[in-house]
Chain A
Amino acid sequence: MSSWRLPSGGRLIERGQTLDFAFNGRPLQGLQGDTLASALLANGQMLLSRSFKYHRPRGLLGAGWEEPNAFLGLSVPRQEPNVLATTEPLVQGLHAHSQRGWPSLQWDVMAVADALHRWLPAGFYYKAFKSPAWAWPWFERALRHAAGMGQVPEKAPADAGHERRFAHADVLVVGAGLSGLWAAWALAEAGARVVLADDAPQPGGRWLDRPAGHAMDGWIALAQQALDAHPLVRRWSCTQVVAQHDHGLFVAVDRSQPGRERIWKLRARHVLLATGQIERPLLFPDNDRPGVMLAGAVSSYLQRWGVAPGRRMVLATNNDAAWTTALDAHDAGLQVLAVADLRPQVHPELLAQAQARGLSAHLGARVGGVRGRAQLRAVSLVDSDGRVQWYEADLLAVSGGWSSALALHAQAGGANRYDAQLHGMVPVGGGLVRCIGTAAGPQDTPACMDSAVQGVAQVAQALGLRLKPPPLPQAPPELGGCSALGLHVGCRGKVFVDLASDVTLDDLVLAHREGYEATEHLKRYTALGMGPDQGRTSSVHGAVLMAGLRGLDAGALGPTRLRPPYTPVPFAAIAGADPGLLIRPMRRTPITPWHEQAGAVMYESGQNWRRPGYYPRPGESMAQAVERECRACREAVGLYDSSPLGKFEVTGPDAIALLEQVYTCRVSDLKPGRGRYAVMLREDGRVFDDGTVFRLDEHRWWITTTTGQALAVHAWLESVRQVHFQGRLQVFVTPVSEQWAALVVCGPRARQLLAACGCSVPLEKVDFPFMAWRDGQLAGQAVRLFRVSFTGELSFEIHLPARRAPALWQTLAQAGASLGLEVMGSEANHVLRVEKGFISVGHEVDGCVNPLDLGLAWAVRMDKEDFIGKRSLQRDLARPQGRAQLVGLLVEAGQPPLEEGAQILREGLDLASARAAPLASAGFVTASVWSPSLGRAVALALLEDGRERHGQNVRVTAAATKGLSLRSATVVAPVFVDSEGGRMRV
């Protein structure tokens, strides 16, 4: 219990406002402005979690997004696992709990894994627990149980109202440190629309980690004021840019209200990355104990939240910047026992400042080891002569160097390199994105501002703006020296390289020995960098260490590839304001409410359409309902809603040329009032869609397509018009699928039904033959009637403007009651068309068949000069053997239907040898139904050379309890009812 709240200070907290919260059930208090981590520290709670594999006690290493340990579970104000304590703002009544440790965080049974570490190195699950093989499912379950992090909530929370917003800007500046602030200010003054995004609640970047009142505070306040008053500037705080996509598209997450994150999608013409640097820890045995903290994080806790992470501190480092932490900590009232630097010599200025405060500096000294498990108790320093000295410290601030935060730069395709001076990663200059400030490499302020000035000048030139630069912050040059880590390989004890995944130095040595030498392989074999912290404090260590093991230069291996998003984004935020069904709206016809009210079982079909499958009466099974609907259509009259059908008007003097090119049939001989069944092919001769083409008048044509292909046909027709014909034709193609409803009345009593509703059109065959259309009035509504049949019965397709359809539907349904009318769904339609052997796109038309295979040679006019697909059909005609052809299949009467998709086994093979045969299947079942008309199961199939095999027996696969079995079927012609087609021509 050594961390404590300082009596004064803390830039981000409001001391007057106390907040109550709880951790593991223990009631605690924090202040407004605290993060969960700073509040826990202020209450002396150093032990926060247990590590991933070894269940070692862990506390805080960092103060922000680099933190690898403090993933806690929240139950209030929202249920969420894996919440990062260092970035979660404290709110009144918050309840958090540690996610590992059973039965408790202090006494964890799984900590035995720590003692067993020699049997649990990296990748142990590739080698251990493999035999006996039957036991693996048990092992796997146990391992998953042990390895998990956090618990998913029982039920989804109520929609919190996540927003998705869009914005455009001339320049996006990421990071509101000195460079970012100045760059945004300068570009706004020059007239650019600027968005400045920073993930902290206040601007200032790393200067927030210095004591209040220092030299830069005044300038930062001035810049903030200027930016907030400027009309061209949007300053986003608590907003982190997580992804960079092509053409300047950025995704930013506004986390000012966790649980109600807002996603911004921003298009910026230019971007300046002032993302700063990330600190690394030192490597020494047991460097993961609670109380070992990054030096920058210690400063953050002191200055931002007024919390001291310990009372007696030792600082160990290899660079100049970390000395500031020791000096500031002393000034804040901590006892700084020693400052150890790996380097044998440091700048005299640093020594002088340390001496002025009475701090003892040890040069050329490294950390030998630590004592303490759940809490740091002592630190040993080993000097260059090997002498060991122990200090009773409860806080060890470590700093192993800095690397630029390059995630966004890398996502934009920017390269990086290891800088031998900085001993860290820096961006390679140039390219689509520019890094400024410390992200560009330099550590001292004048150099940072130089890079900002350069970046701004380049952007201003690209935008054609004249700069009116605002005043630069005047800061004295800081020291930026750093040395290599000088790791002693072979020291006793666990040296942790990645705390989030429990990867130790031994694991890296193991990976190297086993040949996983590239950093990408190292990552995947050891799990280094795969934790929720994405390797922020570990990936550079891993790359440098592996390079050392391989005898290469420190910078020879780059760290692993960084991919968006930079930090975790909740799925709820991505779904935004479109949760549940809104994410993919279903399309409805104006008659859909009637279907739903009538109790139809609704299916999703075609292009997001919601359509009735069947209308079961109370107590009816699906089979019974479908049979009832089919019988009504064949014996009385049926009514169904075909409104999603694709419909197009093709208009113009050159409409014929377009249609002749697109269809296999001839259209030029159709007179106004007549139509034809028509098939559309792709260039490779495969059937693409089928439908009808009707001539409305001399220059106006009406074509229908399948529902599922309505959009594709639109694209296709426009492509033929614009690309194939290069727009030279005088023709318009207008898609009107949604503007027109299509109601189908079909069955022997169809004429009586229409007459009963009052039809102005003469309906007898002599006046209105098959495949003709008429204009007229039906039940007082202006309609078009088309005599097309998908069911094989006498059928009238009624087209009228969609908004008027419900009234007509009601009229037809009511008038049909006395005629034995049944409303039909898609299931009944399917059965009826299979009985007739009519093809359906998606079943028989699978993208691999041509119209000749389907028995549609009568619809193909090879004597036309040209049409799309003709050349490929010529090739197919020259090689007709072995093509899959449409056939019917009959099983023994009383047997259940075959399965759709079942394979027809090649002659001479049995199931066992079929596995070895390169092509065991001679075809497959495309559609299979129970036929009410025949009282038996019927099926359609594509079978090689099927037309020559009528009457033969074939064997068809069927699912069995274990594997497959075979059933016998007879090949017949693909039509089971009314093979002459007389019923629909009546």
Chain B
Amino acid sequence: MLQLPCPFCGPRSEHEFVCTGEFSERPTQPEAMADKAWTDHLYQRRNPDAPVRELWWHQHGCRSWLQVRRDPHSQAILECQALEAAQ
């Protein structure tokens, strides 16, 4: 059970979150993309052997969507920030 340092709620157990996997930013102009490029965006993920950005939703807490960088070997959380641009 990981502990994620939610920027709003503090360190909380993994139970409170939902992970949707590696974060792939939505392209700004989908219409301009060729079919193959669009399919890659939908389904291909790099899955490197290195810390990646993941999206987690704090379902049972503040309901923020957080981008998390996690080291897959040590499970250390290197970064945990809200996605909403700061007001």
Which A residues form the contact surface with B (CB < 8 A)? 245-249, 267, 413, 432, 683-684, 711, 715, 718-719, 722-724, 726-728, 866, 870-872, 874-875, 878
Interface presence of B46 (CB below 8 A): no
Closest to B82 in A: A722
Partner of A726, one of B1, B35, B39, B84: B84
Closest residue of chain B to A735, judged by CB?
Answer: B63
The reply to whether B84 and A870 form a contact with Cβ atoms under 8 Å apart is no
**A871 engages B30 (CB within 8 Å):** yes
Partner of B75 from A246, A267, A723, A728 at Cβ < 8 Å: A246
* B50 interface hit (Cβ, 8 Å): no
Q: Choose from B33, B39, B65 the contact partner of A719 (Cβ within 8 Å).
A: B65
Known A-B contacts A247-B75, A871-B33, A875-B35; the reply to A722 vs B42 at CB < 8 A is no
Q: Any chain A CB within 8 A of the CB of B31?
A: yes
Could you say which residues of chain B place their CB within 8 Å of the CB of A872?
Answer: 38, 42
User: In the assembly, what is the distance between CA of A754 and CA of B37, in Å?
Assistant: 55
B3 (CB) vs chain A CBs: closest residue: A247
User: In the complex, A874 Cα to B33 Cα: how many Å?
Assistant: 11
Q: Are B65 and A722 in contact (CB under 8 A)?
A: yes
Q: Enumerate chain A residues within 8 angstroms of B43, measured Cβ to Cβ.
A: 684
- Given known pairs A249-B1, A267-B3, A871-B31, the reply for A726 and B57 (CB within 8 Å) is no
A722 touches B38 (CB 8 A): no
Query: Would you mind naming 19 contact pairs between A and B with Cβ atoms under 8 Å apart?
Result: A247-B1, A247-B2, A247-B75, A267-B3, A413-B74, A684-B42, A684-B43, A711-B59, A722-B64, A722-B82, A722-B83, A723-B65, A723-B83, A726-B84, A727-B85, A871-B31, A871-B38, A872-B42, A874-B31
Contact A723 B55 (CB under 8 A): yes
B-side contacts of A718, CB under 8 Å = 57, 63, 65
The reply to whether A245 and B1 form a contact with Cβ atoms under 8 Å apart is yes
> Are B57 and A875 in contact, with the CB atoms below 8 A?
no
Question: Of residues 20 to 70 in B, which have CB atoms within 8 Å of A's CB atoms?
Answer: 20, 26, 30-31, 33, 35, 38-39, 42-43, 55, 57, 59, 63-65
A residues near B78, Cβ cutoff 8 Å: none
CA of A722 to CA of B23, assembled, Å: 13
Docked pose: A545 CA to B63 CA in angstroms: 56
Q: Is the CB of B85 within 8 A of A726?
A: yes
A contact residues around B65 at 8 Å (CB): 718-719, 722-723
Q: Which residues of B contact A267 (CB under 8 A)?
A: 3
CB distance from A711 to the nearest CB of B (A): 8
Chain B residues touching A, range = 20 to 34
In the complex the two chains form, what is the Cα distance from A267 to B83 in whole Å? 28
Q: A722-B84, A727-B83 are in contact. Are A715 and B1 (CB under 8 A)?
A: no
Complex-state Cα separation, A728 to B83, whole angstroms: 11
Q: By the criterion CB–CB under 8 Å, are B30 and A866 in contact?
A: yes
A248 to B74: give the CA distance in the assembly, Å: 12
CB < 8 Å neighbour of B57 from A245, A719, A724, A866: A719
Residue B18 lies at the interface, judged by CB distance under 8 Å to chain A: yes
Residues of chain A within 8 A of B64, CB atoms compared: 722
Q: Give the Cβ gap from B85 to chain A, nearest Cβ, in Å.
A: 5
Q: A728: which B residues are within 8 A, CB to CB? A: 85
For the complex, give the distance between the alpha carbons of A980 and B31 in Å. Answer: 36
CA–CA, A166 and B87, complex, Å: 37
Complex Cα gap A872–B42 (Å)? 9
A686-B6 Cα distance, complex, nearest whole Å: 32
CB neighbours (8 Å) of B59 from chain A are 711, 715
Report B69 CB to chain A, min CB distance, Å: 15
Docked Cα-Cα span, A878 to B34, in Å, equals: 12
The answer on a CB contact under 8 Å between B2 and A724 is no
Nearest to B27 among chain A residues (CB) is A871
- Whether B42 and A683, one on each chain, are in contact in the complex, defined by CB atoms closer than 8 angstroms, is yes
State whether A715 touches B83 (Cβ < 8 A).
no
Q: Nearest Cβ distance between residue B50 and chain A, in whole angstroms? A: 17
Q: How far is the CB of B78 from chain A (nearest CB, A)?
A: 13
Nearest residue (CB) in B for A715 is B57
- Of the candidates B20, B64, B83, the one having the most CB atoms from chain A within 10 angstroms of its own CB is B83
Are A727 and B38 in contact, with the CB atoms below 8 A?
Answer: no
A724 to B65, CA, bound (A): 11
Query: Complex Cα distance A247/B11, Å?
Result: 11
Interfacial chain A residues near B3, Cβ < 8 Å: 246-249, 267
Inter-chain contact A246/B85, CB cutoff 8 Å: no
13 more contacts with CB within 8 A, not counting A683-B42, A719-B57, A871-B30, are A246-B2, A246-B3, A247-B1, A249-B1, A684-B42, A715-B18, A715-B59, A718-B57, A723-B65, A724-B26, A727-B84, A866-B30, A872-B38
Residues in chain A near residue B87, CB distance under 8 A:
727
**What residues on B are CB-neighbors of A715 within 8 Å?**
18, 57, 59
